[in-house]
Amino acid sequence: MTKEEFSVTPYEVTGQVDYDKLILQFGVKRIDTASLARLKKHTGDHFMLRRQHFFAHTNLDKVLDALDKKEKVYIYTGRAPSGPIHIGHLFVWTFTKWLQDRLNATLIFQIPDEEKVLFKDDLTFEDSAKWTRENLIDIIALGFDLKKTRFLIDTKHANVMYKLACQVAKKTTASTVRALFGLKNEDNVGKYFYTTMQSVPAFLPTVFEGKQTQCLIPCAVDQDVHFRLTRDVAEKLGYPKPATILSKFVPSLSRDSKMSSSGEQAIWTTDAPKEVERKIRKYAFSGGKDTVEEHRKLGGNPDIDVSFQWLSMLFEPDDHKLASIHDDYKSGKLLSGELKQILIDKINAFLAEHQKRRLDAEKVVDSVIAQHF
């Protein structure tokens, strides 16, 4: 599939995404220099913003207005449990944690444990419960402030969510959901109803505070379609429209799609160092030339090299170091194998610390799950 033939839905991303076209297709706005400057006044700088890995938004100006007035702003993100966590999942959550720390904000972290059960024929609620626990271990290990993070598990906290979800459902037609998500008549009714549950956390800040309260949702751009529906019904129900700050996709090792939870095109948070090295060396798409001699003479293309893209998106926050890697690779001074080794070392250093924190997180995960919302 060529770049011109890319496809982005909440459930699948294929092809090389043209983000300029996607902005027009999704009706979102690019984060311009003025909005970025306003945000930095409250948060400081972050390399994911500098490098435009978070590149688009909806209604961000409303959140910035609230911050300028020193009003409380909530953050909302989530994870639908159906399998283990890979590096791509951590991308948005790392940025979310940074936002929580910089804004001293309450975070609503939704665990929609029914979503994948409704969408995957072979997934049971028992499977979902197992993955809820496993995924929460990784999420807690990232270091979110547990005193300011409220984990909302859909089936466990249905008493908090269901009435509001029904109010959303009452204002939403089946034809709207069908058009937004590509559903068909033969799809189960749970698939139609589920998106109303995903709207609920965006309205809970106003419920909790007893007054209009802004909510900021960091997510990958493919998930904005859920919140398009949320924005459509917000004012009908008397709530402010939530804002989204939207990221690009962390590519799979083969670069032909976003990183997925299947096959060997992902690095899992539990991977051992040798497994990380094997996957990167075997599967990471290279922008280098076919021979050392040719590469030394003509140089490589860092813009299509997955190892460089992963460094830029996650593992090398220092702009000067990244620029040096970029220039050395482009000039032919740095070989593809050497670039892969830089990434391997960075990932393994990160995972060594993350896996230690997972052990600590495992000690508290059951108490987190048992908490009342």
Segment 19-48, tens digit of pLDDT: 999 999 999 999 999 999 999 999 999 999
pLDDT digits (tens, 9 = 90+) for 244-276: 999 999 998 988 766 665 567 789 999 999 999
Q: Mark out the alpha helices in the chain (DSSP H runs).
A: 19-26, 33-43, 47-50, 60-68, 87-103, 115-119, 125-141, 158-170, 174-181, 189-209, 224-237, 273-283, 292-298, 306-310, 319-331, 336-370
**Predicted confidence band at 13 (pLDDT cuts at 50, 70, 90)?**
confident
Architecture of domain 3-249: 3-Layer(aba) Sandwich (3.40)
pLDDT in tens, 158-194: 999 999 999 999 999 999 999 999 999 999 999 999 9
What are the residues facing 153 on neighbouring strands?
Answer: 111
| pLDDT of the residue at 373 | 78
**Looking at residue 265, what is its pLDDT?**
77
| pLDDT per residue as tens digits for the range 51-102 | 999 999 999 999 999 999 999 999 999 999 999 999 999 999 999 999 999 9
Assigned fold of 273-360: Tyrosyl-Transfer RNA Synthetase (1.10.240)
pLDDT, tens only, 300-326: 999 999 999 999 999 999 999 999 999
| C-alpha closest to that of 114 among 168, 173, 188, 190 | 190
- Domain boundaries, given as residue ranges, for the chain: 3-249, 273-360
Which of 165, 164, 183 has its CA nearest to residue 174? 183
Query: Exposure of 72 by Cβ count < 10 A (0-12 exposed, 13-18 middle, 19+ buried)?
Result: middle
